Amino acid sequence: MQALHKFFKRHPMWPVIIPAVLILYFVYISLGWNVWVSVSDWARGDLTASYGWGGFGNYRWMFENEYFWTSLGNTLLLFCLIPLCLLLGLGLALLMDQALRGTTLFRNLILLPFSLSFVVTGTVWAWMYRPQNGVLNSFLQIFGVDTANLMWASKPETVMLSIIIALVWQFSGYVAVIFLAGIKSVPENVINAAKLDGAFSPRIYWKLIIPQLKGAMGSCITILAMYALRSFDFIVSLVGYTMKSATTLPIWMYNEAFQKNNFAHSAAISCFLLALVLVLILPLTYWTNRRK
């Protein structure tokens, strides 16, 4: 330890250089390696790496594959959780801003789902969605609803709806807390001045407070969009990775790499996913920072 201390004392720039080198290697060099693999001649199902130039055949295979449009559609469908989380989170934030009794406990309870890992949440909702003894169907049977055909996460027609409902449950509390922080940041003297002018409470929220939440809204949209594009662990925990109607781009990429050993195909899918992230997330990030 003393020798290490002396080394860093003689070379004070190394504590700054080492993280930069690690980021360079594990992010940018790895990213460049992945791009090269996507255009390599690495054969399908071959565990022996080959890095010769193979052209853009892997991308052509990707666009011609039937799974591409299914996984892309499911990935973009997850963007439906953004408006749902924003509306529900805003409603919860406005409710908590009323300073009712038990608001602190309520805030902790709605934030609890976001503190859970996605694997835990997916497993819990898989139990709730069970057709026979799941909590959801058992609750509906109390009101006389016939749940014989309600398969939820087991049925291709309703699996994406089931996933979105569970994700809204997990993210809405986080969005509500972000909105509540934005509401609390509005100066009280501005609100008091509006009250002196005769503005009633709903109008103050609509005209004064909510327009100030554009920065918080942009941050929430960016975070939700990023998860929608990289959703993997939650869906795998809920329905597995073999259900075609629930396949997203990350799950398809995983299947090609670790189920079929098609590493070049998987690299092409990951490069397309990266391009999708840059196209959709960068404008949101720029818009958010500009509003701030």
Among residues 285, 241, 248, which one has the least CA distance to residue 76? Answer: 248
Please tell me the predicted confidence (pLDDT) of residue 122. Answer: 92
Contacts of 89 (CB under 8 A, 6+ apart): 171, 172, 173, 174, 175, 176, 178, 179, 220
Please tell me the predicted confidence (pLDDT) of residue 263. Answer: 93
Please tell me the predicted confidence (pLDDT) of residue 85. Answer: 95
Please tell me the predicted confidence (pLDDT) of residue 174. Answer: 93
pTM above 0.75? yes
| Tokens representing residue 230 in the block | 């990289």
Q: Which amino acid is located at 48 in the chain?
A: T
Contacts of 147 (CB under 8 A, 6+ apart): 131, 137, 140, 141
Contact (CB, 8 A) for 121 and 166: yes
Please tell me the predicted confidence (pLDDT) of residue 249. Answer: 95
Q: Distance (Å, rounded) from C-alpha 249 to C-alpha 69?
A: 9
For 198, left (φ over 0), alpha (ψ -120 to 50), or beta? left
Q: Three-state SS string across the chain, please?
A: CHHHHHHHHHCCCHHHHHHHHHHHHHHHHHHHHHHHHHCECCCCCCCCCCCCECCCHHHHHHHHCHHHHHHHHHHHHHHHHHHHHHHHHHHHHHHHCCCCCCHHHHHHHHHHHHHCCHHHHHHHHHHHCCCCCCHHHHHHHHCCCCCCCCCHHHCCCCHHHHHHHHHHHHHHHHHHHHHHHHHHCCCHHHHHHHHHCCCCHHHHHHHHHHHHHHHHHHHHHHHHHHHHHCCCHHHHHHHCCCCHHHCCHHHHHHHHHHHCCCHHHHHHHHHHHHHHHHHHHHHHHHHHHHHC
Question: Which segments in the chain show pLDDT lower than 50?
Answer: none
Please tell me the predicted confidence (pLDDT) of residue 212. Answer: 85
Compute the CA torsion angle 74, 75, 78, 79 (nearest 10 deg).
-130
Please tell me the predicted confidence (pLDDT) of residue 272. Answer: 95
Q: Distance (Å, rounded) from C-alpha 167 to C-alpha 235?
A: 10
Please tell me the predicted confidence (pLDDT) of residue 15. Answer: 66
Place of tokens 């509906």: 140
